[in-house]
Structure 1
Amino acid sequence: MDSNASLVNNQSAFEALDLCCQKIIEKMGDKPIEDWRLSDYNALSSKLGSQTKVYLSINTLKRLFGQLKTPQRYFPQKATRDALAQFIGYRDWHEFELVNAVGKGTVTETVTIPEPQLPLKKKKANGRVMALILSLIVVSVAISIYFLFWKNNGLDAQRAELVCENPFGSVPHTAVFKLKSTGDSDRQYHIDFMDEATTAEISGRKEVAKFFRNPGVVYATLLAGNKPIDTVAVYMQTKGWVANSGNDTSTAFPIAGLKPLNPKNISVSKKQLDSAGLATNKPFLVGYSNIKPSGISGDNFSFKCRVFAEQSRPGTQCVETTIIILGEKHRHLLTLNRQNCVAFSEYKFSEKRVIGSEQFLGALAFDPVNGGDIEIRVVNKHVSLILNQKKVLEVSYNKTIGKVMGIKILFSGIGKAVSPILQDLSTREIF
């Protein structure tokens, strides 16, 4: 049984974790972790999930590599460590520690014990004994894995349900989460809030309260081990289009007190950013949000908008434009860059995701410095993307995102959105 509490006080455990992280960095191209961007973490999360079926959020990866500071150094649970070890070629974390003997600051890549020279007959006898022992070990491990899998992925996990006591709020909002379970009330689960908050532990006896500062929809996912078993949404609503900004995804500065902006010309000025307390001498984001319930299907709609983005700012070579359509269950996301920065472009329509660092997205090159038109058309879960009146992408997905609950338009630097319109293709309802 893994005891995380005891491991985190063990220096050799952290030495092993450091070595594992270094090997992961080498596998991802040996780029210094200090130079990693959001796209690098996205790429690792995607590859790790594809290979091990364990999906870690961006914030979890940042804590793992020491790039997101916490009061105590982060040490992941065993299931996460097993996935990290499997990602770099080991069966599990235990094998990684055995092969890479770590202790007292010394790392040895392999430990080899020479085989004693025995008489031939004694070797054969010992060989039969060893074969029997190995067979028993294999059977024991197989039985253990079966019951572990059954416990973590079977009936216990299916009986747990995540509930948000107050899913609708304004900005800022403190949401309270509880667990409904017919199983062991002391059993520990985890809640993943993506980039909006740190992962939290929850059980039938423990509530979790989380503070959300950004307008939008947060998808809180309940994890049994590392398997997602339930998701609830929390809505930070607005009164029309509002603006906020930050120097990274974890900070938020409300602009003009989150008062409604002109929907035909959604923009902010540098003076308003200065008044909000934003450091405009460093790279920053400006986000426009319109969050409210609707009856519009997130799988049958059209979205049109004309956008204007800045030229490169000091410290920012690639100026991104991002459109997010938020649904009850999932979201659609589109990040666009100009031609020489398409490695940082990506699209995610429900579960269907492609990032520019893994697949060339040159057809999605988009430079709206002098204005550009974006149209997203979804018909029965089939997406058509039209940029400047030219169809550049067609893709289908499987999982519904439910009703549309919000729209976000994000810019690197100061951007402007002109008359965004989202309309249901069946009912003609306008968001």
Structure 2
Amino acid sequence: MPQQNEQYESKESFYHLDLCCRMAAEKVGKASFESWTNGDYLRLSGQLFRQTNVQISPSTLKRIFGKLKTTDRYYPQKATRDALVQYNGYNDWDTFVAKYPKPVATKEEEPVDESTKNISAKTVSKKGRNIYIIAALIFIAVIIFWALQKNKSVQTVTSADVDLLCSKPEGEAPHSTTFTIKLANSFKGDKDKFTIDFGDNHREKEIDDGLTISHYYEVPGRYYARLKYNGTPVDSVSVYLKTNGWTATAQLQFDTSKVYPVNINRYTKTGKLEVTANEVSSAGVDTSKAFFVHFVNTKPLPVDADNFELNLWVSTSLPRPGIRCSQADITIYGEQSSHVARFIKPGCVTWALLNFSEIHHEGEREDLSFLGVDLTAGGRIKLKVVNKKATLFINDKIVHETAYRIPLKKFYGMRITFGGIGVIDGFALKDLKTGKIYSEGLTNIGSQSQ
């Protein structure tokens, strides 16, 4: 007996679901999903949540993709199908279905003459098989045509063909702004292939020439909105939400549609940046569930973001409901790109992140075990960047070195995010060109050797 929240339909209705699955598999980077392992479904589940804010478990994805066999093939609800096609760059399921109409395999049957009624069962069987073979060939042809069109589009469109425009690129949180695109006269691509990634983990939206899209930003920071053509970035614009010092904003892990500002005025007296569980609860957060606290300071500072040294002494969250990995994310905002490092308990390094400008590393795809560290009792984090060469330290030990190409240029601020209740015990930001040190109201640890 099917569960009440499931939907089962005839095999003929799975044409678009199969097409959607193949598109998603190609975006993940492993088109042959028939050979996927559990890790591939975990990866897709995480990417879906980050892009659409819809949580689809790996086990549900296995049923959708046909990995888990059932008597009647599972057909997901509309909200789940919407999330899958949004991951592929479409507004909703209906838009996707309209974009790829199901091909008609055969003509309508003509009236049968009485003299043909005694046709052999063997001939009927052959015709039936031929129909399925033709339908399968048509389906494969559609997939190949879609892939060729996608590759053709990516090769055709460049940043010279289109501009992404933002009406209000600066302000304070909360902030609303609008986006439009302007196509060059030389544009030869498909106008329906554009989507916009707002840079704040909300789902992408389709955008067309002449169409205005409004977006609402809630948390202070610097966001890099990117225009994509058939999934490939072709232009970008920054949206800068300034602060006048440190702010704190809480957010539930599985309800990113709401944010909760938290009062942190007392940090000016203690030299520490922290909030208590009671203060987070008073802001409106259900602290019995997993939540994050974002400490943001986007006051512009005269610091070269490609030549600086950042020292932090942090204590991550002790175990609490929904919090076991005790992560700390550190983000440095530059002009058109950022540096991001996620420190997390050793058993959770699958979710580690490390980005230096255009260089991106994910624990789901490679070994980032050097970011696995238990900081619940406190620890020192140091990031030193000299002429676009970055060195990362944990407790005065070098754990990673790399060089990047695209400069961050000016320092536009930073964000420190804790899973649960974390504390910034000390802070020092040094411009390596001028030697000036900024502590931003916190305990200066720049001269200490922890």
What is the TM-score of this pair, normalised by structure 2?
0.67
* 2:191 corresponds to: 187
Aligned runs of 1:208-287 on 2, under 5 Å? Answer: 208-248=213-253, 250-256=256-262, 261-262=267-268, 264-287=271-294
Residue by residue, what CA displacement relative to the aligned partner does 1:333-378 show, whole Å, maximum 9, x if unpaired?
1111223333322211112222233333333332221210000001
Contact 2:300 2:413 in 1 (8 A): yes
* 2:50 corresponds to: 58
Secondary structure, counterpart of 1:404 in structure 2 = coil
Deviation at 1:247, TM superposition (A): 1.3
Change (3 A) 1:17 1:323: same
Residue type at the aligned position of 1:214: V
Change (3 A) 1:80 1:27: farther
Give the whole-Å Cα distance in 2 for the aligned partners of 1:77 and 1:287.
Answer: 27
* 1:175 corresponds to: 177
Residue by residue, what CA displacement relative to the aligned partner does 1:6-25 show, whole Å, maximum 9, x if unpaired?
xxxx9444432465469877
Contact 1:190 1:199 in 2 (8 A): yes
Residue type at the aligned position of 2:386: V
Which one of the candidate residues 367, 372, 377 is aligned to 2:374? 367
Residue by residue, what CA displacement relative to the aligned partner does 1:67-103 show, whole Å, maximum 9, x if unpaired?
999598256499869xxxxxxxxxxx99xx99xxxxx
Contact 2:310 2:383 in 1 (8 A): yes
Residue type at the aligned position of 1:338: K
Give the whole-Å Cα distance in 2 for the aligned partners of 1:301 and 1:335.
Answer: 19
Contact 1:255 1:276 in 2 (8 A): yes
Q: What is the Cα-based RMSD across aligned positions, in Å?
A: 4.0
Contact 2:195 2:228 in 1 (8 A): yes
Aligned sequence identity (%): 27
Per mean C-alpha deviation after superposition, the further-off stretch among 199-208 and 11-20 is 11-20
Residue by residue, what CA displacement relative to the aligned partner does 1:244-292 show, whole Å, maximum 9, x if unpaired?
1111272443333576843831001122111111010011111100013
Q: Determine whether 1:421 maps to 2:425.
A: no
Secondary structure, counterpart of 1:370 in structure 2 = coil
Change (3 A) 1:237 1:252: farther
Residue type at the aligned position of 2:51: N
Contact 2:52 2:201 in 1 (8 A): no
Contact 1:244 1:252 in 2 (8 A): no
Change (3 A) 1:27 1:296: farther
Question: Unaligned regions of 5+ residues in structure 2, if any?
Answer: 1-11, 26-30, 65-75, 91-98, 104-128, 135-140, 439-450
Give the whole-Å Cα distance in 1 for the aligned partners of 2:242 and 2:249.
Answer: 13
Aligned runs of 1:31-110 on 2, under 5 Å? Answer: 36=42, 41=45, 58-60=50-52, 62=54, 73-74=82-83, 76=85
Residue type at the aligned position of 1:340: G
* 1:290 corresponds to: 297
Residue type at the aligned position of 2:170: F
Residue type at the aligned position of 2:238: A
Secondary structure, counterpart of 1:232 in structure 2 = strand
Give the whole-Å Cα distance in 2 for the aligned partners of 1:326 and 1:150.
Answer: 34
Residue by residue, what CA displacement relative to the aligned partner does 1:188-227 show, whole Å, maximum 9, x if unpaired?
4221124433212223311111001111111110112222
Deviation at 1:237, TM superposition (A): 1.5
Give the whole-Å Cα distance in 2 for the aligned partners of 1:358 and 1:78.
Answer: 19
Contact 1:242 1:260 in 2 (8 A): no
Secondary structure, counterpart of 2:430 in structure 1 = strand
Secondary structure, counterpart of 1:73 in structure 2 = helix
Secondary structure, counterpart of 1:282 in structure 2 = coil
Secondary structure, counterpart of 1:322 in structure 2 = strand
Give the whole-Å Cα distance in 2 for the aligned partners of 1:343 and 1:278.
Answer: 27
Contact 1:240 1:261 in 2 (8 A): no
Question: What is the count of residue pairs matched by the alignment?
Answer: 354
Give the whole-Å Cα distance in 1 for the aligned partners of 2:44 and 2:320.
Answer: 21
What is the TM-score of this pair, normalised by structure 1?
0.70
Give the whole-Å Cα distance in 2 for the aligned partners of 1:418 and 1:269.
Answer: 14
Change (3 A) 1:163 1:315: same
* 1:301 corresponds to: 308
Give the whole-Å Cα distance in 1 for the aligned partners of 2:373 and 2:173.
Answer: 32
Residue type at the aligned position of 1:404: F
Aligned runs of 1:110-189 on 2, under 5 Å? Answer: 153-154=155-156, 158-183=160-185, 187-188=191-192, 189=194
Give the whole-Å Cα distance in 2 for the aligned partners of 1:68 and 1:257.
Answer: 41
Contact 1:176 1:210 in 2 (8 A): yes
Change (3 A) 1:218 1:78: closer
Give the whole-Å Cα distance in 2 for the aligned partners of 1:230 and 1:418.
Answer: 39
Change (3 A) 1:149 1:319: closer
* 1:331 corresponds to: 338
Give the whole-Å Cα distance in 1 for the aligned partners of 2:391 and 2:299.
Answer: 25
* 1:125 corresponds to: none
Deviation at 1:31, TM superposition (A): 6.0
Deviation at 1:112, TM superposition (A): 5.1
